[in-house]
Amino acid sequence: MRLLLVGPPGAGKGTQAQFLAAHYSIPHISTGDIFRANLKAGTDIGNQARVYMDRGELVPDDVTNEMVRLRLEESDASKGFLLDGWPRNIAQAQYFDGILCAKNISMDAVLEMQISDAQIIARLSSRRTCRDCGKPSQGEKCGACGGELYQREDDKEEVIANRLKVYADQTAPIIAFYRDKGLLLTTPATGSVADITAQAIALLSK
């Protein structure tokens, strides 16, 4: 299975990616993980990315693209993969097409997790994160370690609204791009985690 997961921030892509990757026995490849691995290992491409990050700038597409390309070359991705968080725009999607053509392989599906902006804002603005272990939690104290909870800056309503605007401007157009290729499948991103996973697997099995 070669799968791309798309959807707005707060749709639960990271959570579903873990369950779907385990179900299909394929690696979950996220740009966040790739960045952290390259920075920690001090690779050439990681050091290039660090220059921009240390200046508080966005890492350019060409650096991010190369990181993903190198990750897809690793042996565990030879039989399939689940991409989460990339491509984020049409230029990256076109670059990804080039990678697939060079490998003479194709995607099985692009799974869009669909949820309204109002539901995302309600979901994320009520989220609290543990200061000690970093996990999201509900209530007065962290359910995992009992630590103090706080609201992250990027979980504040005005910040979420801006993130959704960026998504609509930059990332949403790739949905039409993959729909035109006949690869797009859409599943609701509301309900229990287990229900969302089951619906996604059922859709991918058709």
* pLDDT confidence band for 80 (50 / 70 / 90): very high
Residue 144 belongs to some domain of the structure: yes
Residue 84 belongs to some domain of the structure: yes
- Indicate whether 192 pLDDT > 80: yes
Residue 32 belongs to some domain of the structure: no
Here the CATH number for the domain that contains residue 109 is 3.40.50.300
Q: What angle do helix axes 90-103 and 61-72 make, rounded to 10 degrees?
A: 30
Range of the domain at 11: 2-26+79-204
Total domains, the chain? 1
- Indicate whether 154 pLDDT > 80: no
Compute the average pLDDT of residues 105-130: 89
- Indicate whether 136 pLDDT > 80: no
pLDDT > 70: what percent of the chain?
100
Q: In which order are the strands placed within the sheet that holds 109-114?
A: 28-30, 81-84, 2-6, 109-114, 184-188
pLDDT attached to residue 99: 94
Compute the average pLDDT of residues 30-39: 89
- Scored b (16 or more CB within 10 A) or e, 4-24 reads bbbbbbbbbbeebbbbbbeeb
List residues with catalytic annotation. Answer: 13, 88, 127, 152, 163
* pLDDT confidence band for 174 (50 / 70 / 90): very high
Residue 173 belongs to some domain of the structure: yes
